[in-house]
Amino acid sequence: MRIATGRLGRVALGAAALLFAGVAAAQPAAPARKPNIVILLADDWGFTDVGAFGAEYATPNLDALAKEGVRFSNFHVAGSCSPTRSMLQTGVMNHRTGLANMPETIPDEHKGKPGYDTVMNHRVVTIGQMLRAAGYRTYLTGKWHLGGDQARLPHSRGYDRAFALEASGADNFEKRPIEAMYSTADWTENGKPADLPKDYYSSRFVVEKAIDYIERDRASGKPFLASINFLANHIPVQAPDADIARYAGQYHEGWTKLREARARRAAALGVMPANTRLVTMPTTRDWATLDAEEKLAAMRVMQVYAAMATAMDREVGRLVAHLKKTGDYENTIFIFTSDNGAEPTDPYNRQLNRALLGLRYDTSTANIGRRNSFSAIGPSWASAAASPLSGYKFSATEGGLRVPLIVAWPGQVQGGRIASALTHVTDLVPTIAELTGTPMHGGQWEGRAVEPVTGRSLAPLLRGEATSVRGDDAPLGYELSGNAALFRGDHKLVRNLPPTGDGKWRLFDIVRDPGETHDLSAEMPERFAALMADYRAYARANGVLEMPAGYTADKQINKFSMRQQGAKQIGIMAAWAVGVILLFALPFWWMRRRRRRARGIN
């Protein structure tokens, strides 16, 4: 058969081409590959604890993600870990997730009250459940702290594979609990008790495990969600020797100088206004009053803190390098943030604590940050880590609630930008849902009513299509352990109980005064009254309970610790009692048996 030639042939070929083109056009386009999601959740990092936000130590891999993506400079979480983690997982406010308070900080009077479950309840749906239903592989490694029974561990809350710690923290070098707080380090894999490798270091392990899970199921061809939850930089502050050595000699000028330097860097980087006013927390000691040994110990613990952050950042870099090698990098959305501000707790602030920790750890200055150490930066360094903000973890100050957020999608999101809009941890679930094309559940899941997602998608900010996701009249309430806030527009109504506050309500413009230095309540009485009304409405709607007289989170943590120690000591005493009984009873039984046998009695 000859191919047609000449004008007629050309017409016929052209018609055929148009016909085939029309058929091709009528075919549906191949669906775009859904993006992978990587959540990188740091523990207890303050606002300027990343180089791209003002840190003086090295975080080059997080800084590279910041360059590829968007930095959020007005992003808020809860004042402690579990409430934030429950909101990040569900997009629902903590009083509705069951984490109105944590096991370690809840007063006895609140236990069992609605919303005060101290574990993530079953009235909420996790991002793992949502994405798994949408065809994703789902993985979680590291800290969970949202419930330790089989129905609440991550393998039951939407994660195909999970290697998780059900505690607020643990040792970073071995399977050892925070011994003043817990009796065991409850690591599980897919709900079963799990051991750690001999060369375990927490940041390295949680990334290695995530990579292992991703590769184990690669043949499925499905996109993945990897929620990687670091122990860095939670107490105990620990890091590899080589990383600690990197910062030898630093921090000799003390926390106040560091706080000032970080404020300048944050302004230069554009994540804070220039000339932001600073307050000095009443818990910040005067560096000049420390003796030589105290200064050496203080310098050393901050060197370890810096080393721990750098060690974590290196593992982020290893994950990124792996995803580049496998071709996943440019189709992966990275979300980095912290669960709350820097940790101010000083575990050596009571004589009993010092005695117990001294028996169980090598507390010498030379051993700070190494194996068998138990160290914390304390409130003075924590204030510097939150610079230029006021306060730190547990409080409702900006230093407790405002943390760094980086969202990067290489090639899809214009990098290097800063979003200054008021944003919240509940916004991450709807953001992920929109970017992945995953339907929101709308308050119904598997035939039952669940709490609806209340966050707002940040996708318009990522695309540069908007400057805000909340209008000036949209209130955003918060409460934890009696410390409370109500955000609306540029203003924040806030109350902090002792030791970081006096229980009085104050009003701040956190856009122009993020350091919360100038109370506007007397100057703006109408605005103050309106936000107070908003907070009361939030508290009623969410079942917020007032704290018992004299309550502080620090006191409650010590009370929890003493109960744990008491239970442990009772167990030890019971074991000793059994041992003593056996020690005396066995010889008696043996001698009696010999006499009976000698008399011919069986």
Say whether 145 is catalytic.
yes
What values do phi and psi take at 499, rounded to 5? -95, -5
Helix then strand then coil, % of the chain, to nearest 5: 40, 15, 45
Say whether 322 is catalytic.
no
Instruction: Please give the structure tokens belonging to residue 60.
Output: 């080059």
Q: In the block, which residue shows the tokens 């003043």?
A: 180
Instruction: Please give the structure tokens belonging to residue 202.
Output: 């927490």
Active-site option among 145, 155, 424, 441: 145
Mark 520-552 as b/e (b = at least 16 C-beta within 10 Å). Answer: bbeeeeebbebbeebbeebbeebebbebeeebb
Active-site option among 76, 81, 155, 234: 81
Q: Which residues pair with 402 in a beta bridge?
A: 76
Instruction: Please give the structure tokens belonging to residue 367.
Output: 């051993």
Q: Look up residue 197 and give its DSSP letter.
A: -
Report the relative pairing of strands 70-72 and 417-419 from DSSP bridges. Answer: parallel
Q: Are 210 and 141 in contact (CB under 8 A)?
A: yes
Within its chain, how far is the Cα of 526 from the centroid?
36
Q: Are 548 and 109 in contact (CB under 8 A)?
A: yes
Q: Are 368 and 445 in contact (CB under 8 A)?
A: no
- Between CA 195 and CA 70 the distance in angstroms is 38
Q: Are 478 and 398 in contact (CB under 8 A)?
A: no
Q: Are 486 and 544 in contact (CB under 8 A)?
A: no
- By annotation, the residues acting in catalysis are 81, 145
